[in-house]
Structure 1
């Protein structure tokens, strides 16, 4: 249709992957770090509360 008779070249694919990873980190990096930090804090608090309940029984 557009004259493409071969598959994509390996360097082109690698370049696209690198660009995608870098741009994804730039766009979603900070919000994801904040989310995981908050998630780990909640899990730590939940495990501490669970540990507290089991020792008090």
Structure 2
């Protein structure tokens, strides 16, 4: 699965039953980072998916800061 944007990352998380909503956009993005890292640490997603998701999330976090 190629992850190019936030929608792709949300679909990846949804695939594993993760629906992330924080008190604001920045908090939501940070929670998504934690969940993606957890999926990777548990071996549920590939290294490539992990890196792509983190790049998208880091980019979105930079836009919010």
The bucket for the TM-score relative to the shorter chain is 0.3 to 0.5
By relative contact order (CA 8 Å, sep 6+), the higher-ranking structure is: 2
Choose between structure 1 and 2: higher helix proportion. Answer: 1
TM-score with structure 1 length normalisation?
Answer: 0.37
